[in-house]
Amino acid sequence: MATMILDVPDQLKEEFERVLEGKQPNDAITEFMREAVERAQLKQRSHQAIASILERRSRMNPVSADEIRAAREELRKP
């Protein structure tokens, strides 16, 4: 297991201790770090998905509103 030394503002440390009273600080920080990593990974996947969509869209031919409307009507036919 790795060790990290963090410098945080006194006010943040006091608030942390007050809010998480009774919880092991190492457990709380580990949980926070896991959540931060998950958020960062999700954000990265989201950015990659958006980039992929935009890249695909840039290779497609534009479709007019009339063409979209006609396609919808065609799909709605029994």
pLDDT digits (tens, 9 = 90+) for 31-72: 999 999 999 999 999 999 999 999 999 999 999 999 999 999
List C-alpha distances in Å: 47 to 13, 24, 36, 39, 54.
Answer: 33, 35, 16, 12, 11
* Closest C-alpha among 26, 24, 23 to residue 3: 26
Distances (CA, A) of 66 to 55, 72, 78: 24, 10, 21
Q: What is the pLDDT of residue 25?
A: 86
Radius of gyration of the chain (CA): 25
Rounded average pLDDT over 18-35: 91
